[in-house]
C-alpha cells in the first residue's frame, strides 16, 4: 500500500491515523502540495499526480493497483478490508452519528479553508489577508460549534466521540483540530471537542502520525 502524503495536510493526517489505528503498514510517497514548498512548486498539478487524483489534492492511497481518493471513502475502504479494530460502531444509528460528525469536520469545515479555496479568495477575488483570516475563523467556529453541540451532553459520547474507543469521527476531529489550531481558531471555546482531542493525542496512533513528526517536515530534516 502506498500513501501519497504531505506533512501539513490535515487530510493526509486523517489517513495516517486510520492506518495506524488499524496497524496497517504502508509506504509513504512524499509529495509537495498546498501552496507549494519553499520554491512555491506543488506536485499536485503534475500530469503523473493528476492521473491518480484528478482533484489535485492529497492524499491518494494505492492498494494493489487500486487508486483511492477522498479521505472518507478511503477510511470506509480500510474499514471494509481490515474490519478490526473498527472505526465505526456496529449499530446503524451509531454509524450514522459517527459519519455525521466526520462530515461536519471534513465536508462542512475543512473544505472551506483549503489552499485552493484560500488562493481563489486571495488571487481571484482580491480579498485582503485580514478578510481571509475572518473567513477561516467564521467557518471553523461554525464547524466546531456544531460538533461541540453534537458531543456535549449526548449519552453516546464517551472518552471519544462515540463511546470509549477512537473511530472515524475522532480522526476527523483531531486532523482538523490540528489545522484549526494552527490557522484559525483554538479549541478552547469548545470544551467537549478539546477533551476528546486531548484523549486522542495521548494515543500513539494520533501522536506518532502528527504533521510535526513527519519525515517530509523540514523541521525534521
Ligand atoms: N475532501 C478531500 C480534501 C482533500 C484536500 O483538500 N487536501 C488538501 C490538503 S489538506 C490539498 O491537497 N489541498 C491542495 C489545494 O487546495 O490546492 C479529502 O477528504 O480527501
User: pLDDT digits over 23-71, tens only?
Assistant: 999 999 999 987 655 556 789 999 999 999 999 999 999 999 999 999 9
Kindly state the percentage of the chain with pLDDT values over 90.
85
For residue 58, the ligand 1 atom closest to its alpha carbon is: 12
pLDDT of residue 182: 83
- Mean pLDDT score, 169-181: 95
Distance 35 CA to ligand 1 centre (A): 11
| Those residues with Cβ within 8 angstroms of residue 38's Cβ, 6 or more apart along the chain or in another chain | 218
Written out in words, the top-level CATH class of the domain with range 2-85 is alpha beta
**Ligand 1 pocket, residue 172 CB under 6 Å:** no
**Ligand 1 pocket, residue 10 CB under 6 Å:** yes
Instruction: Tell me which of 15, 72, 115 to substitute to probe ligand 1's pocket, judged by most ligand atoms within 8 Å of the beta carbon.
Output: 115
**Ligand 1 pocket, residue 116 CB under 6 Å:** yes
> Within 13 Å of residue 206, how many CA atoms lie on the same side as its CB?
23
Protein residue with its CA nearest to atom 9 in ligand 1:
9
**Ligand 1 pocket, residue 33 CB under 6 Å:** yes
| Those residues with Cβ within 8 angstroms of residue 199's Cβ, 6 or more apart along the chain or in another chain | 159, 160
- pLDDT band at 75; cut points 50, 70, 90: very high
- Segments of the chain assigned to CATH 3.40.30.10: 2-85
pLDDT of residue 62: 98
pLDDT of residue 39: 56
- Segments of the chain assigned to CATH 1.20.1050.10: 92-207
pLDDT tens figures, 79-131: 999 999 999 999 999 999 999 999 999 999 999 999 999 989 988 999 887 88
Distance 173 CA to ligand 1 centre (A): 16
Task: Please tell me the distance from the alpha carbon of residue 207 to that of residue 216, in angstroms, as a whole number.
Answer: 16
pLDDT of residue 27: 98
- pLDDT band at 132; cut points 50, 70, 90: confident
**Ligand 1 pocket, residue 132 CB under 6 Å:** no
Protein residue with its CA nearest to atom 10 in ligand 1:
9
Assigned CATH topology for domain 92-207 = Glutathione S-transferase Yfyf (Class Pi); Chain A, domain 2 (1.20.1050)
Distance 119 CA to ligand 1 centre (A): 13
- pLDDT band at 161; cut points 50, 70, 90: very high
**Ligand 1 pocket, residue 34 CB under 6 Å:** yes
Question: Cα torsion at 13, 16, 22, 27 (round to 10°)?
Answer: 170
Nearest of 186, 189, 193 to residue 154 by alpha carbon: 193
| Those residues with Cβ within 8 angstroms of residue 112's Cβ, 6 or more apart along the chain or in another chain | 135, 139
pLDDT of residue 35: 64
> Within 13 Å of residue 181, how many CA atoms lie on the same side as its CB?
16
Task: Please tell me the distance from the alpha carbon of residue 53 to that of residue 29, in angstroms, as a whole number.
Answer: 14
Q: Is the model's pLDDT at 145 over the cut of 90?
A: yes
pLDDT tens figures, 176-200: 999 888 876 889 999 999 999 999 9
Amino acid at each position: 500500500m502506498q500513501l501519497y502524503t504531505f506533512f501539513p495536510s490535515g487530510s493526509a493526517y486523517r489517513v495516517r491515523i486510520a492506518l495506524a489505528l488499524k496497524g496497517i503498514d504502508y509506504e509513504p510517497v512524499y509529495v509537495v502540495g498546498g501552496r507549494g514548498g519553499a520554491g512555491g512548486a506543488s506536485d499536485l498539478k503534475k500530469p503523473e499526480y493528476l492521473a491518480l487524483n484528478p482533484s489535485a489534492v492529497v492524499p491518494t492511497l494505492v492498494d494493489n493497483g487500486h487508486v483511492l481518493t477522498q479521505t472518507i471513502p478511503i477510511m470506509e475502504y480500510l474499514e471494509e478490508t481490515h474490519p478490526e479494530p473498527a472505526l465505526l460502531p456496529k449499530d446503524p444509528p451509531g454509524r450514522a452519528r459517527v459519519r455525521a460528525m466526520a462530515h461536519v469536520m471534513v465536508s462542512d469545515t475543512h473544505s472551506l479553508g483549503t489552499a485552493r479555496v484560500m488562493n481563489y479568495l486571495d488571487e481571484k477575488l482580491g480579498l485582503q489577508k485580514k478578510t481571509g483570516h475572518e473567513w477561516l475563523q467564521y467557518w471553523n467556529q461554525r464547524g466546531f460549534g456544531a460538533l461541540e453541540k453534537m458531543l456535549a451532553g449526548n449519552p453516546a459520547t464517551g472518552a471519544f466521540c462515540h463511546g470509549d474507543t477512537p473511530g472515524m469521527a475522532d480522526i476527523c476531529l483531531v486532523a482538523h483540530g490540528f489545522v484549526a489550531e494552527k490557522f484559525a481558531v483554538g479549541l478552547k471555546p469548545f470544551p467537549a471537542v478539546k477533551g476528546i482531542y486531548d484523549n486522542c493525542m495521548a494515543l500513539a496512533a494520533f501522536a506518532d502520525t502528527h504533521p510535526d513528526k513527519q519525515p517530509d517536515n523540514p523541521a525534521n530534516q
